[in-house]
Structure 1
Amino acid sequence: MHDFLDNLLGQALSASVIHAGLNLLFALLILLVGTWVAARMANFSRRALQRANVDDTLSGFLRNVIYGVLVAMLIVMALTRAGVPSAPLVAALGAGGLAIGLALQGSLSNLAWGVLLVIFRPFRVGDFVTAGGLDGTVQSINLMHTLLLLPDGREAVVPNGKVGGDAIVNHNRRGTRRFELKLGIGYKDDIGAAMAEIRRLFAADARILKDPAPGVWTVGLGENVVDLVIRAWTSSADSWDVQTDLLRAIREHFEAAGISLPAPRRELVITHGDVSDAAPRQP
């Protein structure tokens, strides 16, 4: 075969063809074997991340990133082996990556925040949070968006870039919550008796935590009421029910004890006759 090519193409050209063929063969071999090795390495990295209790979504994403980087390196190595200059190839890949990054900067921002949310876990599925300006229960978290179930039953798909770019409030991460109620009693009522009634209601409700201790304080003197504020801690699940039951109990016990809860009052002055005649004229 070698003699045939020498006779057909000449010795120099024959050597060039054989050299190019060998380089192409080695390039294909690099791609085939390298792709197989890259897949094994990427799968191994994913199993290692899963053993380290990394989230499945993040471990799958990192596995694909590792595989993509390795394949890109293999392509550069194979083309270089085939005789393609590496410098222009690397420059072209860099320019292409920059163009793709600029075109997808919004999506890449969501992706980056998705990775950070999965790593740092400011909330988990089932938590009630304020995120991206919305209040809702977390239904799912993926690398591009977070799904919230709003209190009225609607679903909100919030981009992770918006979630991470704003304050995140987790309402039940710690398992307990403090609530605050404000009410007013009349000036003729006994403040001490009213506060004692509220403290008895604290002791009677087992859902109100003793530590931190609940309390009631006088915080202001209004137009026709003395302002009281009530603060108490409950479990996150009982918060709304305890507030509702406590307000109803306060209303019933205050009524039985003769303590008033006055409503706001306004005075209305009605003038009969011609207002223009009654009003003094301005010079």
Structure 2
Amino acid sequence: MHDFLVRLHFSEAGIQLIFNILGALAILVIGMWLAARLANVAMRAMQRANIDSTLSGFLRNAINGVLIVLLVVMALQQLGVPSAPLIAALSTAGLAIGLALQGSLSNLAWGVLLIVFRPFKVGDFITAAGVDGTVEGINLMHTLLVLPDNREAIVPNGKIGADAIVNFNRRGVRRFEVKLGIAYKDDVGKAMATVQALFAADARILRTPAPGIWTESLGVGAVNLVIRAYTKIDDLWPAQTDLLRAIKERFEADGISIPVPQRELTVVQGAPLVPPQA
């Protein structure tokens, strides 16, 4: 009778173990299928919300990974493995990995923020982390800038997020500023009217905000004027270059001179030489 009870006990334990293993496998198989479906649903929702494809792909994988970890914990619980020590071990491992990858995680976090809040986009000319360049690519870890001389700079997102970002393209228009001087003998009002006429003749110079010319200072040998005008981004340098050329030509035609710095040197004949000081 005793032997029969022992065999019955072992058979029940074996059957229970088999059921536990099958249950754990069912949790993993069905759970992973559902996790993939839920992650895909979340990704499609982010795409409909016009979230950047790089960020939506990363979040999709992150959601899927978290769900798989939960499934593994549930499967181990089904097999009778205590979950508290496992969760503690995972937490410790996560902390260690986080400390080891602190710089990379900072870049990753700032990459997510840059993609979500979009302080700049591909094609913008920016100053970020002390680097001037055109944005060619933004990913979760770094931003690729093309410098004005066609060199490439790979700037970590953590450095960009920790510093000021200057976006030269975001508002669509830019202001240029030109300073020049005219001789004291020339008519300041006439010079200013000439520049205003050149503003009106150039369709690239915007009427709003209005361009202007002002007397900045009475300098040594010249009346200093400052010119400010707004253009669209693509017209900035051509409009400024053409305006400077037109000002020079019109000033020459109207008899308005643009003086250059001069220095007078007076030589006194017969002056005694001063010996150098010891």
Length-normalised TM-score, structure 2: 0.92
1:22-81 alpha-carbon deviations (Å, 9 max, x no partner):
222211221111111101111111111112221111111110010011001011111111
1:95-142 alpha-carbon deviations (Å, 9 max, x no partner):
111111111111111111111111111111111222222222111111
The alignment status of 1:173 with 2:170, answered yes or no, reads: yes
Change (3 A) 1:22 1:225: same
Residue identity matched to 1:23: N
Query: Where do 1:1-283 residues align within 5 Å?
Result: 10-268=7-265, 273-276=272-275
- 2:4 & 2:182 partners in 1: Cα distance? 115
Tell me, what secondary structure is at the counterpart of 2:174?
strand
Choose 236-245 or 122-131, whichever is displaced more: 122-131
- 2:89 & 2:263 partners in 1: Cα distance? 77
Length-normalised TM-score, structure 1: 0.90
1:138-162 alpha-carbon deviations (Å, 9 max, x no partner):
1111111111111111111111111
Tell me, what secondary structure is at the counterpart of 1:253?
helix
- 2:34 & 2:172 partners in 1: Cα distance? 47
- 1:158 & 1:12 partners in 2: Cα distance? 66
- 2:76 & 2:272 partners in 1: Cα distance? 101
- 2:11 & 2:223 partners in 1: Cα distance? 105
- 1:217 & 1:47 partners in 2: Cα distance? 56
Residue 265 of structure 1, CA deviation: 2.2
The number of residues matched between the two structures is: 274
Percentage of identical aligned residues = 65
Tell me, what secondary structure is at the counterpart of 1:276?
coil
Question: Which ranges in structure 1 are unaligned for 5 or more consecutive residues?
Answer: 1-5
- 2:45 & 2:267 partners in 1: Cα distance? 82
Choose 8-17 or 39-48, whichever is displaced more: 8-17
Residue 93 of structure 1, CA deviation: 0.3
1:263-283 alpha-carbon deviations (Å, 9 max, x no partner):
122344668653228x8x9xx
Tell me, what secondary structure is at the counterpart of 2:275?
helix
Residue identity matched to 1:16: A
- 1:269 & 1:64 partners in 2: Cα distance? 81
Change (3 A) 1:70 1:255: same
Aligned to 1:3: none
Residue identity matched to 1:183: L
Residue identity matched to 1:27: A
Residue 8 of structure 1, CA deviation: 11
Q: What RMSD in Å do the two structures reach over aligned CA positions?
A: 2.0
Residue identity matched to 1:98: L
1:234-261 alpha-carbon deviations (Å, 9 max, x no partner):
1110000111111111111111111111
Change (3 A) 1:11 1:222: same
Tell me, what secondary structure is at the counterpart of 2:258?
coil
- 1:171 & 1:76 partners in 2: Cα distance? 50
